[in-house]
Chain A
Amino acid sequence: MTDHHTDDVLKDLETALAVTPSPEFADGVRARLRGESARRSMWPVWAIGGLAAAVAATFALVFLPRQQSRPGLQPPAGEAPQVAEAARASSPSIAPAEQTVPRETPQRQQRRAASSPAPAEPVLEVLTNQGEMLRRVWARVTPSGALKEVDTPGAEPPLAGDAPIVSDAVTAPVAIAPVVMKPLGEGGDRPNQPTIRNHEINAGRAR
């Protein structure tokens, strides 16, 4: 292979590269430029939208928890969680609201308890025939200490008067008076109670 052959290859390359773009080439470039300028003209809209969303999220995360802790400015129930949830959804990178909530002090708890409605009391029920139920259970205990099964299919039939325990259980609701915590120094119990001092205790022992 000589230089002549290399020249042939280079000539072939020249021939292969003697291609021209289609007549629509320039139109394609212009179309791209139009699309690009349209996209560029839209950036202020996106920027303003993003900024507004960021401000709203910041407001929701920083100011709403503070308002919740003030009795007079408390929003209706259910509103704050929705707003905080929306803010969290729109800006996941911002720290959760729990981190921005100030620490609860006894004064704050007291104020909140005074302003918010009392929660519904839980209904407590107790067995009123506990003695009877225990007797029945004791009657089922075998000498080995195991409890005889009565509801299992194929097992021996229950003894007379040996009805299922659960259906015989009688329960009744128990009302518990709400516990009221009075703050110290405001008519609470402790300041009015007599104080027992060490020397009085020692005197009692001596007697």
Chain B
Amino acid sequence: MQERRDRTFVHPRRLAAIALAMVGVFVLLGVRLWDLQVVNGGHYRELAEQNRIVRVPVTADRGVIYDRSGRLLARNDPGFAVSIIPVDLPRSRADEIASRLAVFVERGSDAILKAIADQRARNPYEPVKISVRPLPRETALLLVERAELYPGVRVTAEALRSYVDGPLYAPVLGYVGPIDEEELADRKGGGYLLQDIIGKTGLEWEYEQYLRGTLGWREVERDASLRELRTLALIPPRPGNDLVLTIDDKLQKLLDAELEKGVREDKFTQAVGIAMNPQNGEILAMVSIPAYDNNAFIQGVSSAQMNAWNSDDRHPLVNKAIGDIYPPGSAFKVVTGLSALSTGVATRNTVVNVSSNVLVVDGWKFYDWRVHGPLDFVNGFAHSSDIYFYTLGGGNPYSGQRGAGPEALSKYGKMLGFGAPTGIDLPGEASGIMPDPLWKLATFDEPWTLGNTYHESIGQGFVAVTPLQLLNAYASVANGGTVYKPHLLKEVRSDGKPVVVPQPQVARKLDMKQEDLRLIRESARRVVTIGHAYMPDAKLPIAGKTGTAEFGQSSGVDSAGRQKLGFHNWFVSFLPKQDNTDPTAEIAMVIFTFDSSRSLCDVCFNPAVAMTQHILESYYGVADKKASAP
């Protein structure tokens, strides 16, 4: 088209240039769109899904723990946890949020920031829990109601472990706590998340695999303000299985009440009581005093409290039934006796004439607690004559009788379970010491002496045992020669139905003659019948062996301010069903009292004896109401 001269205001080339520029720009936009939508569309579609959907772990309820008759010992109470999804938390606000949350979760804001930064590096789409312990409802509500102030912060329900009887079962149950880096690394791939809860000690640790359950996942669609709109998919968590223990709560409480009473009345400062079924190794009760309140670990233990427990010389955090070792005293004479009988150096008719209360060998004096006169095996055991058992263990230069010797003592001692963990289903079990000449040479670089043998024969010197080892040894005698692995787990239940029922495990059979074991049982009954273990008006045919040991310091006071006496008492007992000579005992019990006062009354030397009688008679419902009335 030809332009008219007078239309100079139209500049066709400029209009064309603009048109060209417009086409060019739209082509450019189109190319960019093609790149975004067609070339890289898949990538962005993934991102859009990721935006929209977040995978949130759903923790499983931890299994609860019952005693053998179904009484609840550990349960879950409702509480709240606070976690952060790093991808939802603007970096610029992290400082501010951390310092505000620090007040609620009682943690340093630095620690919170580090947790967030670590999780950002690990997987920013997954929440990291920043509350160490469950929060009360009011705090949780505060966070939820002002959600817009806390971007990326999630508040979820979290069960709060609760131990019904606190210190009574703390040594057995242990406690749970937040998983630490090391535990997390050990369980890589085990479905554990940072800041998860894990069993720290006791049965909570031992049976973590059953109690924990399986983590579930929830896929949640969210909008940009992180409100959760709906659940797209739910892999439900499998709650943990419940444990049923062999513990009998009734017996546990009887035992605990007696021992606590003894401490209150200043008869002793620490105590252990264990009861088991000698026919299968089931632990019926296990009390360790003083203990700690395991609920404290759920709420968080202050460092002052932790220091106090750690520096307490009564070791409240240790389950003294298995974790501390003590000299067994005369209760160890079962080893000396069985060694002598099994090696043939003694029979039930072996007589030692204890005409003096001291045996002098090479100028060293070995005392008995009194002059007994002539004693056979049953009476030597029943009266707990030290010289009788010196003779059985190391021989007697005056009468020329041979003893079993330290190697035999060690052999049969180990056979009865001393010097090695019993294998009970609890962490932290001590081995104890079952010495022999080689052990002394290796440990002290000194040769064994006859004096060592004498001391060992009456449970003094190097030998050291856990209360459980001593109980298990007597239990094997009481059941006719089977050493069981003691155990606390009766069954594992899922929805009330047993899924795992552990069978009694035999550690070993005693390579001993039945008549020798029968002789020990007969002698142990004699301990009670002759009144050495004084049980007035006894209702039950209890058999047992006392032990008294001097150990540790006998001056000063302990952490509770009680006098240290360095003097401990034992009573290991078993209760036959009918005749005490038959291997039919259905309960065996050991009571150990630490720093006992020596003379409580004229006849009852040993507080453990009276407590044993009272506990067993109460347990079987035959206690004399009048006599036991306070």
* A, B: real partners: no
Chain B interface residues toward A at CB < 8 A: none
